[in-house]
Amino acid sequence: MLKLFCLSRAGVALLFTKPIFEAAEYGPGDTEWLHLLVGDWQIIADTAHGDLVLWLPTQFESTVMHLRDYPVGPTQDSNFTAVAQVRPSTVHTLFYKDLINQQMKPQLRAIAHRVWKTQQTERFADSETIAGLDMQTTAVPLIRNGRTLAVLTLHSETVKPRQRTHVELVYRELADELLRMTSRGIWPEFSAPVGSSRGNPRVSDGLITVDAEGNVTFASPNAVSIYKRLGFEEDLETHSLTSITRDLLPQGDQVDETLPLVLAGRMPWRSEIRTHTVSVTFRAIPLRRATALGEERFGAIILCRDVTELRRREMELMTKDATIREIHHRVKNNLQTVSALLRLQARRMESDEARQGLEQAMRRVATIATVHEALSQGLTQNVNFDGLIERQFHLAAELASPGQHVRTVLTGEFGALPSKFATPLALVINEVVANAVEHGLGTETGTVTMDAHRSVNSRAEQTLTVTITDDGRGMGAKKIESSGVGTYSSSGDGLGMQIVRTLVASELNGSIRWEDNEPRGTKVIIDAILIGAHT
Protein backbone atom coordinates (compact mmCIF):
# COMPACT_ATOMS: atom_id res chain seq x y z
CA MET A 1 0.00 0.00 0.00
CA LEU A 2 1.38 3.38 -0.99
CA LYS A 3 0.28 6.54 0.71
CA LEU A 4 0.82 9.80 -1.17
CA PHE A 5 1.13 13.17 0.54
CA CYS A 6 1.32 16.12 -1.87
CA LEU A 7 2.45 19.15 0.12
CA SER A 8 1.19 22.59 -0.81
CA ARG A 9 4.68 24.04 -0.71
CA ALA A 10 5.79 24.71 -4.30
CA GLY A 11 8.30 22.27 -5.74
CA VAL A 12 7.74 19.52 -3.17
CA ALA A 13 6.66 16.00 -3.98
CA LEU A 14 6.40 13.42 -1.24
CA LEU A 15 5.63 9.72 -1.22
CA PHE A 16 5.83 7.88 2.08
CA THR A 17 5.48 4.11 1.85
CA LYS A 18 3.92 2.53 4.90
CA PRO A 19 5.62 -0.88 4.52
CA ILE A 20 9.07 0.75 4.48
CA PHE A 21 8.35 2.64 7.69
CA GLU A 22 7.05 -0.49 9.35
CA ALA A 23 10.07 -2.51 8.21
CA ALA A 24 12.44 0.13 9.61
CA GLU A 25 10.40 0.37 12.81
CA TYR A 26 10.90 4.11 13.08
CA GLY A 27 9.70 5.55 16.34
CA PRO A 28 7.05 8.29 16.48
CA GLY A 29 9.77 10.90 16.96
CA ASP A 30 11.76 9.67 13.96
CA THR A 31 8.78 9.68 11.62
CA GLU A 32 7.66 13.12 12.79
CA TRP A 33 11.15 14.52 12.36
CA LEU A 34 11.32 13.26 8.76
CA HIS A 35 8.00 14.99 8.10
CA LEU A 36 9.34 18.20 9.66
CA LEU A 37 12.39 17.98 7.42
CA VAL A 38 10.34 17.58 4.27
CA GLY A 39 8.17 20.50 5.35
CA ASP A 40 11.18 22.80 5.84
CA TRP A 41 13.92 21.65 3.49
CA GLN A 42 13.06 24.22 0.83
CA ILE A 43 15.55 26.46 2.67
CA ILE A 44 18.38 24.01 1.96
CA ALA A 45 17.40 23.67 -1.70
CA ASP A 46 17.29 27.46 -2.13
CA THR A 47 20.63 28.16 -0.45
CA ALA A 48 22.38 25.16 -2.06
CA HIS A 49 20.88 25.98 -5.49
CA GLY A 50 20.09 22.32 -6.01
CA ASP A 51 17.46 19.59 -5.87
CA LEU A 52 16.99 17.48 -2.75
CA VAL A 53 15.81 13.87 -2.71
CA LEU A 54 15.03 11.70 0.32
CA TRP A 55 15.77 7.95 -0.03
CA LEU A 56 14.72 4.98 2.09
CA PRO A 57 16.01 1.40 1.78
CA THR A 58 13.73 -1.16 0.16
CA GLN A 59 14.93 -4.03 2.38
CA PHE A 60 16.24 -4.10 5.94
CA GLU A 61 18.42 -6.58 7.73
CA SER A 62 17.82 -7.18 11.42
CA THR A 63 19.53 -8.47 14.52
CA VAL A 64 18.11 -10.14 17.61
CA MET A 65 17.73 -7.75 20.54
CA HIS A 66 15.61 -8.37 23.62
CA LEU A 67 14.30 -11.63 22.11
CA ARG A 68 13.05 -9.94 18.96
CA ASP A 69 14.29 -8.94 15.51
CA TYR A 70 15.40 -5.31 15.34
CA PRO A 71 16.20 -3.67 11.96
CA VAL A 72 19.71 -2.24 11.81
CA GLY A 73 20.08 -1.11 8.21
CA PRO A 74 19.62 -1.99 4.55
CA THR A 75 20.54 -5.45 3.38
CA GLN A 76 23.54 -5.82 1.11
CA ASP A 77 21.28 -6.28 -1.92
CA SER A 78 18.83 -3.55 -0.93
CA ASN A 79 18.19 -0.62 -3.20
CA PHE A 80 16.89 2.80 -2.15
CA THR A 81 13.54 4.31 -3.16
CA ALA A 82 12.98 8.05 -3.59
CA VAL A 83 10.15 9.04 -1.23
CA ALA A 84 10.39 12.84 -1.30
CA GLN A 85 11.82 15.55 -3.54
CA VAL A 86 12.05 19.33 -3.57
CA ARG A 87 13.18 21.71 -6.29
CA PRO A 88 14.95 25.03 -5.66
CA SER A 89 13.08 28.27 -6.22
CA THR A 90 16.27 30.30 -6.67
CA VAL A 91 17.63 28.47 -9.75
CA HIS A 92 16.33 26.08 -12.39
CA THR A 93 15.76 22.45 -11.46
CA LEU A 94 17.88 19.55 -12.75
CA PHE A 95 14.96 17.11 -12.59
CA TYR A 96 12.09 17.99 -14.88
CA LYS A 97 10.44 14.70 -13.95
CA ASP A 98 10.00 13.61 -10.36
CA LEU A 99 12.20 10.83 -9.03
CA ILE A 100 9.45 9.76 -6.64
CA ASN A 101 9.12 5.97 -6.40
CA GLN A 102 12.23 5.47 -8.53
CA GLN A 103 15.30 3.60 -7.34
CA MET A 104 18.97 4.56 -7.28
CA LYS A 105 21.37 3.90 -10.12
CA PRO A 106 24.35 1.60 -9.29
CA GLN A 107 26.91 4.38 -8.59
CA LEU A 108 24.69 6.29 -6.18
CA ARG A 109 23.43 3.05 -4.64
CA ALA A 110 26.96 1.93 -3.69
CA ILE A 111 27.71 5.33 -2.14
CA ALA A 112 24.39 5.34 -0.26
CA HIS A 113 25.28 1.97 1.32
CA ARG A 114 28.65 3.31 2.39
CA VAL A 115 27.19 6.57 3.72
CA TRP A 116 24.57 4.66 5.70
CA LYS A 117 27.19 2.54 7.46
CA THR A 118 29.97 5.12 7.96
CA GLN A 119 27.54 7.96 8.76
CA GLN A 120 29.83 10.29 6.82
CA THR A 121 28.73 12.68 4.06
CA GLU A 122 30.21 12.09 0.60
CA ARG A 123 30.33 14.40 -2.41
CA PHE A 124 31.10 13.11 -5.89
CA ALA A 125 30.77 13.80 -9.62
CA ASP A 126 27.55 12.16 -10.80
CA SER A 127 26.99 11.43 -14.48
CA GLU A 128 24.65 8.48 -14.01
CA THR A 129 21.52 9.79 -12.26
CA ILE A 130 20.54 11.79 -15.35
CA ALA A 131 21.95 10.45 -18.59
CA GLY A 132 24.01 13.04 -20.45
CA LEU A 133 24.14 15.53 -17.56
CA ASP A 134 27.16 15.97 -15.30
CA MET A 135 26.19 17.10 -11.84
CA GLN A 136 27.61 17.24 -8.37
CA THR A 137 25.81 15.00 -5.89
CA THR A 138 26.17 15.06 -2.12
CA ALA A 139 24.93 12.04 -0.15
CA VAL A 140 24.06 12.87 3.48
CA PRO A 141 23.13 10.31 6.17
CA LEU A 142 20.24 11.40 8.38
CA ILE A 143 21.08 10.33 11.93
CA ARG A 144 19.01 10.48 15.12
CA ASN A 145 20.02 8.94 18.41
CA GLY A 146 23.01 7.33 16.75
CA ARG A 147 20.93 5.50 14.14
CA THR A 148 20.76 6.25 10.41
CA LEU A 149 17.17 6.81 9.33
CA ALA A 150 17.51 7.69 5.65
CA VAL A 151 19.82 9.13 3.02
CA LEU A 152 19.42 12.67 1.68
CA THR A 153 20.98 13.60 -1.66
CA LEU A 154 21.68 17.11 -2.94
CA HIS A 155 22.02 17.44 -6.71
CA SER A 156 23.48 20.63 -8.13
CA GLU A 157 24.88 21.67 -11.47
CA THR A 158 28.63 21.25 -11.87
CA VAL A 159 30.18 24.69 -11.46
CA LYS A 160 32.00 25.86 -14.55
CA PRO A 161 35.42 27.49 -14.12
CA ARG A 162 34.49 31.00 -13.00
CA GLN A 163 34.70 33.15 -9.94
CA ARG A 164 31.73 32.71 -7.63
CA THR A 165 29.98 35.80 -6.29
CA HIS A 166 30.04 36.62 -2.59
CA VAL A 167 26.32 35.82 -2.32
CA GLU A 168 26.85 32.37 -3.90
CA LEU A 169 29.70 31.59 -1.52
CA VAL A 170 27.66 32.62 1.54
CA TYR A 171 24.61 30.66 0.40
CA ARG A 172 26.69 27.56 -0.27
CA GLU A 173 28.33 27.81 3.16
CA LEU A 174 24.91 28.15 4.81
CA ALA A 175 23.61 25.15 2.89
CA ASP A 176 26.57 23.08 4.10
CA GLU A 177 25.90 24.12 7.70
CA LEU A 178 22.22 23.21 7.38
CA LEU A 179 23.12 19.85 5.84
CA ARG A 180 25.51 19.11 8.69
CA MET A 181 22.84 20.00 11.24
CA THR A 182 20.31 17.88 9.36
CA SER A 183 22.71 14.96 9.25
CA ARG A 184 23.09 15.14 13.04
CA GLY A 185 19.30 15.23 13.43
CA ILE A 186 19.16 18.61 15.19
CA TRP A 187 17.41 20.53 12.40
CA PRO A 188 14.55 21.09 11.91
CA GLU A 189 13.84 21.62 15.59
CA PHE A 190 10.62 20.37 17.13
CA SER A 191 10.22 23.70 18.93
CA ALA A 192 10.02 25.57 15.62
CA PRO A 193 6.51 26.55 14.46
CA VAL A 194 5.05 24.30 11.78
CA GLY A 195 2.71 25.09 8.93
CA SER A 196 2.90 27.58 6.10
CA SER A 197 1.44 30.74 7.64
CA ARG A 198 0.63 33.66 5.38
CA GLY A 199 3.70 35.82 4.92
CA ASN A 200 6.20 33.21 6.09
CA PRO A 201 9.59 34.47 4.77
CA ARG A 202 11.64 32.50 2.22
CA VAL A 203 15.27 32.60 1.15
CA SER A 204 14.46 34.58 -1.99
CA ASP A 205 12.60 37.24 0.02
CA GLY A 206 15.58 38.29 2.12
CA LEU A 207 18.35 36.57 4.09
CA ILE A 208 20.52 37.89 6.90
CA THR A 209 23.17 36.06 8.90
CA VAL A 210 24.15 37.05 12.44
CA ASP A 211 26.89 35.85 14.76
CA ALA A 212 26.42 34.48 18.28
CA GLU A 213 25.99 38.03 19.66
CA GLY A 214 23.35 38.96 17.08
CA ASN A 215 25.57 41.21 14.93
CA VAL A 216 24.95 41.11 11.18
CA THR A 217 27.65 39.30 9.18
CA PHE A 218 25.83 39.20 5.82
CA ALA A 219 22.69 40.64 4.24
CA SER A 220 21.31 39.67 0.84
CA PRO A 221 20.34 42.44 -1.59
CA ASN A 222 16.63 41.84 -0.94
CA ALA A 223 17.19 42.07 2.82
CA VAL A 224 19.07 45.36 2.37
CA SER A 225 16.16 46.69 0.30
CA ILE A 226 13.67 45.74 3.02
CA TYR A 227 15.61 47.68 5.66
CA LYS A 228 15.91 50.66 3.33
CA ARG A 229 12.11 50.66 3.09
CA LEU A 230 12.03 50.55 6.89
CA GLY A 231 14.22 53.68 6.92
CA PHE A 232 17.73 52.31 7.58
CA GLU A 233 20.13 53.70 4.96
CA GLU A 234 23.49 52.45 6.32
CA ASP A 235 25.21 49.11 5.83
CA LEU A 236 23.67 46.37 7.96
CA GLU A 237 26.88 44.43 8.50
CA THR A 238 28.60 44.69 11.92
CA HIS A 239 25.48 46.27 13.44
CA SER A 240 23.25 44.58 16.02
CA LEU A 241 20.12 43.54 14.13
CA THR A 242 18.01 43.82 17.28
CA SER A 243 19.16 47.40 17.99
CA ILE A 244 18.71 48.48 14.37
CA THR A 245 15.20 47.10 14.17
CA ARG A 246 14.13 48.44 17.57
CA ASP A 247 15.20 51.98 16.61
CA LEU A 248 13.11 51.79 13.42
CA LEU A 249 9.88 51.01 15.24
CA PRO A 250 7.41 53.80 16.08
CA GLN A 251 7.78 55.21 19.58
CA GLY A 252 5.25 53.86 22.04
CA ASP A 253 4.25 50.83 19.96
CA GLN A 254 4.14 47.52 21.74
CA VAL A 255 6.60 45.01 20.29
CA ASP A 256 6.18 41.25 20.21
CA GLU A 257 8.21 39.94 23.15
CA THR A 258 9.68 37.21 20.94
CA LEU A 259 11.18 39.75 18.50
CA PRO A 260 14.57 40.22 20.27
CA LEU A 261 15.06 36.46 20.53
CA VAL A 262 14.25 36.03 16.84
CA LEU A 263 16.48 38.89 15.60
CA ALA A 264 19.37 37.68 17.75
CA GLY A 265 18.91 34.16 16.34
CA ARG A 266 18.55 32.61 19.77
CA MET A 267 15.24 30.80 19.19
CA PRO A 268 13.79 29.13 16.04
CA TRP A 269 10.67 31.27 16.08
CA ARG A 270 8.85 33.76 13.88
CA SER A 271 7.93 37.36 14.56
CA GLU A 272 6.59 40.43 12.78
CA ILE A 273 7.03 44.18 12.98
CA ARG A 274 4.85 46.98 11.66
CA THR A 275 5.79 50.58 11.09
CA HIS A 276 3.52 53.27 9.73
CA THR A 277 4.23 52.20 6.14
CA VAL A 278 5.92 48.77 6.14
CA SER A 279 5.21 45.33 7.63
CA VAL A 280 8.00 42.73 7.79
CA THR A 281 7.98 39.12 8.99
CA PHE A 282 11.09 37.41 10.38
CA ARG A 283 12.08 33.83 10.94
CA ALA A 284 15.20 32.69 12.81
CA ILE A 285 17.14 29.47 12.19
CA PRO A 286 19.87 29.08 14.83
CA LEU A 287 23.10 27.54 13.50
CA ARG A 288 24.89 25.06 15.76
CA ARG A 289 28.16 23.16 15.61
CA ALA A 290 29.14 20.01 17.46
CA THR A 291 31.84 20.80 20.04
CA ALA A 292 33.35 19.08 23.04
CA LEU A 293 30.68 20.83 25.12
CA GLY A 294 27.84 19.64 22.89
CA GLU A 295 25.80 21.53 20.30
CA GLU A 296 26.97 25.14 20.49
CA ARG A 297 25.19 28.02 18.73
CA PHE A 298 27.60 30.13 16.68
CA GLY A 299 25.15 32.23 14.66
CA ALA A 300 21.83 32.18 12.89
CA ILE A 301 20.03 32.68 9.61
CA ILE A 302 17.35 35.38 9.73
CA LEU A 303 14.84 35.24 6.88
CA CYS A 304 12.79 38.38 6.31
CA ARG A 305 9.94 39.30 4.02
CA ASP A 306 8.11 42.51 3.19
CA VAL A 307 4.44 41.64 3.70
CA THR A 308 3.09 45.19 3.51
CA GLU A 309 0.87 44.53 0.50
CA LEU A 310 -0.26 41.19 1.89
CA ARG A 311 -1.28 42.72 5.21
CA ARG A 312 -2.99 45.62 3.43
CA ARG A 313 -5.13 43.20 1.45
CA GLU A 314 -5.92 41.20 4.59
CA MET A 315 -6.98 44.42 6.32
CA GLU A 316 -9.19 45.33 3.35
CA LEU A 317 -10.85 41.93 3.52
CA MET A 318 -11.38 42.27 7.27
CA THR A 319 -12.85 45.74 6.75
CA LYS A 320 -15.15 44.48 4.00
CA ASP A 321 -16.25 41.56 6.15
CA ALA A 322 -16.99 43.88 9.04
CA THR A 323 -18.90 46.25 6.72
CA ILE A 324 -20.98 43.42 5.29
CA ARG A 325 -21.81 42.11 8.76
CA GLU A 326 -22.80 45.60 9.85
CA ILE A 327 -25.05 46.00 6.79
CA HIS A 328 -26.78 42.69 7.54
CA HIS A 329 -27.21 43.78 11.16
CA ARG A 330 -28.79 47.07 10.14
CA VAL A 331 -31.06 45.38 7.58
CA LYS A 332 -32.18 42.98 10.31
CA ASN A 333 -32.95 45.89 12.64
CA ASN A 334 -34.88 47.72 9.93
CA LEU A 335 -36.90 44.62 9.07
CA GLN A 336 -37.70 44.05 12.73
CA THR A 337 -38.91 47.66 12.91
CA VAL A 338 -41.14 47.08 9.88
CA SER A 339 -42.47 43.90 11.48
CA ALA A 340 -43.26 45.78 14.70
CA LEU A 341 -45.08 48.51 12.74
CA LEU A 342 -47.16 45.89 10.95
CA ARG A 343 -48.03 44.30 14.28
CA LEU A 344 -49.19 47.68 15.65
CA GLN A 345 -51.22 48.33 12.54
CA ALA A 346 -52.80 44.86 12.71
CA ARG A 347 -54.03 45.53 16.24
CA ARG A 348 -55.92 48.61 15.01
CA MET A 349 -57.69 46.73 12.22
CA GLU A 350 -61.39 46.04 12.77
CA SER A 351 -61.62 43.66 9.81
CA ASP A 352 -60.44 40.10 10.53
CA GLU A 353 -59.32 39.68 6.93
CA ALA A 354 -57.19 42.82 7.03
CA ARG A 355 -55.73 41.83 10.40
CA GLN A 356 -54.77 38.38 9.08
CA GLY A 357 -53.20 39.91 5.98
CA LEU A 358 -51.01 42.21 8.08
CA GLU A 359 -50.04 39.38 10.42
CA GLN A 360 -48.98 37.25 7.45
CA ALA A 361 -46.91 40.14 6.09
CA MET A 362 -45.38 40.58 9.55
CA ARG A 363 -44.44 36.87 9.63
CA ARG A 364 -42.78 37.06 6.20
CA VAL A 365 -40.76 40.14 7.10
CA ALA A 366 -39.65 38.50 10.36
CA THR A 367 -38.48 35.44 8.41
CA ILE A 368 -36.25 37.56 6.19
CA ALA A 369 -34.92 39.39 9.27
CA THR A 370 -33.93 36.05 10.83
CA VAL A 371 -31.71 35.24 7.83
CA HIS A 372 -29.98 38.63 8.00
CA GLU A 373 -29.43 38.15 11.74
CA ALA A 374 -27.60 34.88 11.01
CA LEU A 375 -25.52 36.54 8.28
CA SER A 376 -24.51 39.39 10.60
CA GLN A 377 -22.89 36.92 13.01
CA GLY A 378 -20.56 35.13 10.56
CA LEU A 379 -17.50 35.93 8.45
CA THR A 380 -18.87 34.35 5.27
CA GLN A 381 -21.97 34.75 3.15
CA ASN A 382 -23.02 31.21 4.08
CA VAL A 383 -25.68 30.49 6.67
CA ASN A 384 -25.84 27.54 9.05
CA PHE A 385 -29.37 26.84 7.93
CA ASP A 386 -30.07 24.07 10.43
CA GLY A 387 -29.69 26.40 13.39
CA LEU A 388 -31.72 29.11 11.67
CA ILE A 389 -34.63 27.02 10.38
CA GLU A 390 -35.16 24.97 13.56
CA ARG A 391 -36.37 28.02 15.46
CA GLN A 392 -38.18 29.41 12.40
CA PHE A 393 -39.97 26.09 11.80
CA HIS A 394 -41.42 25.97 15.30
CA LEU A 395 -42.25 29.70 15.25
CA ALA A 396 -44.08 29.45 11.89
CA ALA A 397 -46.29 26.67 13.25
CA GLU A 398 -47.10 28.63 16.41
CA LEU A 399 -47.89 31.91 14.62
CA ALA A 400 -50.09 30.16 12.07
CA SER A 401 -52.49 28.95 14.77
CA PRO A 402 -52.09 30.70 18.14
CA GLY A 403 -53.37 28.66 21.06
CA GLN A 404 -53.52 25.44 19.06
CA HIS A 405 -51.16 22.61 20.05
CA VAL A 406 -49.11 21.64 16.99
CA ARG A 407 -46.20 19.23 17.33
CA THR A 408 -43.21 19.89 15.02
CA VAL A 409 -40.56 17.33 14.06
CA LEU A 410 -37.36 18.23 12.17
CA THR A 411 -35.15 15.54 10.62
CA GLY A 412 -32.18 15.49 8.24
CA GLU A 413 -29.64 18.26 7.68
CA PHE A 414 -29.69 21.35 5.49
CA GLY A 415 -26.02 22.20 6.02
CA ALA A 416 -24.49 25.57 5.13
CA LEU A 417 -26.35 27.49 2.44
CA PRO A 418 -25.43 30.71 0.59
CA SER A 419 -27.55 33.66 1.64
CA LYS A 420 -29.10 33.92 -1.83
CA PHE A 421 -30.70 30.52 -1.20
CA ALA A 422 -31.30 30.90 2.53
CA THR A 423 -33.75 33.80 2.28
CA PRO A 424 -36.10 32.37 -0.39
CA LEU A 425 -35.93 28.87 1.12
CA ALA A 426 -36.84 30.20 4.57
CA LEU A 427 -39.80 32.08 3.07
CA VAL A 428 -40.99 29.00 1.16
CA ILE A 429 -40.77 26.80 4.27
CA ASN A 430 -42.56 29.46 6.31
CA GLU A 431 -45.47 29.57 3.83
CA VAL A 432 -45.76 25.80 3.43
CA VAL A 433 -45.68 25.17 7.19
CA ALA A 434 -48.23 27.91 7.82
CA ASN A 435 -50.46 26.43 5.12
CA ALA A 436 -50.12 22.94 6.64
CA VAL A 437 -51.23 24.23 10.03
CA GLU A 438 -54.01 26.56 8.86
CA HIS A 439 -55.54 24.42 6.11
CA GLY A 440 -54.15 20.94 6.70
CA LEU A 441 -54.74 20.64 10.44
CA GLY A 442 -57.41 23.32 10.69
CA THR A 443 -58.50 23.45 14.32
CA GLU A 444 -57.30 19.92 15.07
CA THR A 445 -54.21 18.93 17.03
CA GLY A 446 -51.56 17.30 14.84
CA THR A 447 -47.95 16.99 13.76
CA VAL A 448 -45.99 18.77 11.07
CA THR A 449 -42.75 17.06 10.03
CA MET A 450 -39.95 18.50 7.93
CA ASP A 451 -37.05 16.48 6.47
CA ALA A 452 -34.02 17.79 4.57
CA HIS A 453 -31.64 15.82 2.37
CA ARG A 454 -28.56 17.03 0.43
CA SER A 455 -27.27 15.11 -2.61
CA VAL A 456 -25.48 15.50 -5.94
CA ASN A 457 -27.30 14.94 -9.23
CA SER A 458 -25.98 13.46 -12.49
CA ARG A 459 -24.64 16.89 -13.56
CA ALA A 460 -22.56 17.15 -10.35
CA GLU A 461 -24.88 19.88 -9.02
CA GLN A 462 -25.70 20.23 -5.34
CA THR A 463 -29.36 19.46 -4.74
CA LEU A 464 -31.58 19.87 -1.70
CA THR A 465 -34.85 18.05 -1.13
CA VAL A 466 -37.17 19.34 1.60
CA THR A 467 -40.25 17.29 2.49
CA ILE A 468 -42.96 18.80 4.71
CA THR A 469 -45.80 16.56 5.82
CA ASP A 470 -48.83 16.93 8.07
CA ASP A 471 -51.33 14.41 9.40
CA GLY A 472 -54.37 16.60 8.81
CA ARG A 473 -57.40 16.16 6.57
CA GLY A 474 -55.45 16.14 3.29
CA MET A 475 -56.18 17.79 -0.06
CA GLY A 476 -59.42 15.92 -0.67
CA ALA A 477 -60.78 15.79 -4.20
CA LYS A 478 -59.08 19.05 -5.24
CA LYS A 479 -55.47 18.41 -6.16
CA ILE A 480 -52.78 21.08 -6.29
CA GLU A 481 -50.73 21.18 -9.46
CA SER A 482 -46.98 20.82 -9.31
CA SER A 483 -44.74 23.59 -10.62
CA GLY A 484 -41.06 24.03 -11.44
CA VAL A 485 -38.50 26.14 -13.29
CA GLY A 486 -40.24 28.32 -15.86
CA THR A 487 -43.65 27.78 -14.20
CA TYR A 488 -44.86 30.57 -11.97
CA SER A 489 -48.01 31.29 -10.01
CA SER A 490 -51.42 31.09 -11.58
CA SER A 491 -54.22 33.62 -11.12
CA GLY A 492 -56.22 31.14 -9.05
CA ASP A 493 -53.57 30.82 -6.34
CA GLY A 494 -53.69 32.71 -3.07
CA LEU A 495 -50.90 35.12 -2.17
CA GLY A 496 -49.01 32.52 -0.13
CA MET A 497 -49.16 29.97 -2.96
CA GLN A 498 -48.02 32.61 -5.46
CA ILE A 499 -45.02 33.45 -3.28
CA VAL A 500 -44.07 29.77 -2.95
CA ARG A 501 -44.33 28.96 -6.65
CA THR A 502 -42.44 32.09 -7.70
CA LEU A 503 -39.55 31.64 -5.23
CA VAL A 504 -39.12 27.93 -5.98
CA ALA A 505 -39.00 28.53 -9.73
CA SER A 506 -36.94 31.71 -9.87
CA GLU A 507 -34.70 31.64 -6.78
CA LEU A 508 -34.27 27.94 -5.94
CA ASN A 509 -34.03 26.69 -9.54
CA GLY A 510 -36.28 23.81 -8.55
CA SER A 511 -39.77 22.40 -8.36
CA ILE A 512 -42.54 21.83 -5.82
CA ARG A 513 -45.25 19.19 -5.76
CA TRP A 514 -48.11 18.15 -3.47
CA GLU A 515 -49.00 14.54 -2.71
CA ASP A 516 -51.29 12.65 -0.39
CA ASN A 517 -49.56 11.50 2.78
CA GLU A 518 -50.19 8.01 4.12
CA PRO A 519 -52.20 7.23 6.13
CA ARG A 520 -53.60 10.76 6.11
CA GLY A 521 -52.58 14.32 5.47
CA THR A 522 -50.55 16.11 2.82
CA LYS A 523 -46.94 15.88 1.71
CA VAL A 524 -45.13 18.80 0.05
CA ILE A 525 -41.84 18.03 -1.69
CA ILE A 526 -39.48 20.87 -2.62
CA ASP A 527 -36.53 20.06 -4.89
CA ALA A 528 -33.90 22.82 -5.26
CA ILE A 529 -30.63 23.07 -7.19
CA LEU A 530 -28.05 24.98 -5.13
CA ILE A 531 -25.90 26.52 -7.84
CA GLY A 532 -22.52 27.57 -6.42
CA ALA A 533 -23.02 25.74 -3.11
CA HIS A 534 -20.43 23.34 -1.67
CA THR A 535 -20.80 20.15 0.30
- Whether the pLDDT of residue 401 is over 90: the answer is no
CATH number of 207-306: 3.30.450.20
Element (H, E) at 463: strand 462-470
CATH 3.30.565.10 fits 384-535, yes or no: yes
pLDDT class of 428 with cuts at 50, 70, 90 = confident
- pLDDT value for 205: 95
- CATH superfamily for 2-183 is GAF domain (3.30.450.280)
Per residue in 174-219, pLDDT (tens digit) is: 999 999 999 999 999 988 776 555 678 999 999 999 999 999 999 9
pTM here?
A: 0.65
Strand order in the sheet with 522-529: 406-412, 446-456, 462-470, 522-529, 511-516
Q: State the average pLDDT over residues 15-21.
A: 52
- Choose the weakest-confidence range: 16-20, 265-269, 526-530: 16-20
Pairing of strands 406-412, 446-456: parallel
Q: Which 3 state secondary structure label does DSSP give 449?
A: strand
Q: Which residue has the higher pLDDT, 369 or 211?
A: 211
pLDDT class of 3 with cuts at 50, 70, 90 = very low
Domain ranges (residues) in the chain: 2-183, 207-306, 310-379, 384-535
- pLDDT value for 301: 97
Tell me, rounded to whole angstroms, the distance of Cα 226 from its chain centroid: 29
Per residue in 48-106, pLDDT (tens digit) is: 999 999 999 988 886 655 555 556 789 899 999 999 999 999 888 898 888 998 999 99
pLDDT class of 7 with cuts at 50, 70, 90 = very low
Q: What is the mean pLDDT of the chain?
A: 82
Given this chain, do its domains 2-183 and 207-306 carry the same CATH topology?
yes
Q: Which residue has the higher pLDDT, 478 or 46?
A: 46
